[in-house]
Amino acid sequence: MTIGDKIEKLIKNIGLPLSITTKLNKKIAVNFDLGVQDIEQLINKNILDINPDVLSNLKKYNFDLIKDVNNDLAQKLRSTLERSIIEGKSKRESIKQIKKIFDTSDARARSIAVTETHRAFGIGQLEAAKKSPIKLKKYILAVNDSRTSPLCKRLSSKYNKDNTIPINAKFKDKTIGESWLSNPYHTNCRSKVIYIPADINE
């Protein structure tokens, strides 16, 4: 077996554990249900006919993101190990480089987990709001502290309790040219969409 073969064998056995995806899928399902319940409490009515494909698509999207993290991790490890062999780096130097790669990948996976559970809640709210027998409207509530992004500050300033939009309308930001039906608006976003009954005369 060549050194290249050994590297490939090692790479195949390394990756972020499947348990991350499994746990995240459970959290996504729970947060989706919590989003639905949020609207049910608002209108004081159970909503039973949510499209199951929506949750399936959320889980698939999450799986693809984690898969991308694993592929990226494998590629970086392969390159680092090959470079270490070619440059004759010490075992200590190689381990230090590998640890840095794992730390970066782990941080990225955690960031995905936070963002995707938030997305599941937001999509649960939106899907339930669409099925609501009561007409609803929405706005954005941002967490205002030193960690709040400029994007969320702009969105929550534009779309507030005094400037709501219909549930099927998109929140738009001209600065970056993007639009969204629901949160999150960026990685690690903490902003939330608030739904309220629309006025009778609207």
Please list the pLDDT of the chain residue by residue as tens digits (202 residues).
565 565 566 555 555 555 566 777 788 888 889 999 999 999 999 988 888 888 888 888 777 777 777 778 778 887 887 787 777 777 778 778 888 887 887 788 788 888 888 999 999 999 999 999 999 999 999 998 999 999 999 999 999 999 999 999 999 999 999 999 999 999 899 999 999 999 754 5
Beta strands in the chain (DSSP E): 136-141, 165-166, 171-173, 178-180, 192-197
Contact 123, 58 (CB under 8 A): yes
**Cα angle: 61, vertex 194, 146; to 5 degrees:** 80
What's the Cα-to-Cα distance from 33 to each of 54, 59, 86, 183, rounded to whole Å?
Answer: 12, 14, 52, 16
Q: Could you tell me the two tokens for 127?
A: 């899907």
Question: Which pTM does this prediction carry?
Answer: 0.78
Rg of the Cα atoms in the chain: 22
Q: What is the DSSP string of 9-44?
A: HHHHT-SS-HHHHHHHHHHHHHHHHHHHHHHHHHHT
Report pLDDT digits (tens) over 92-104.
Answer: 787 788 888 878 8
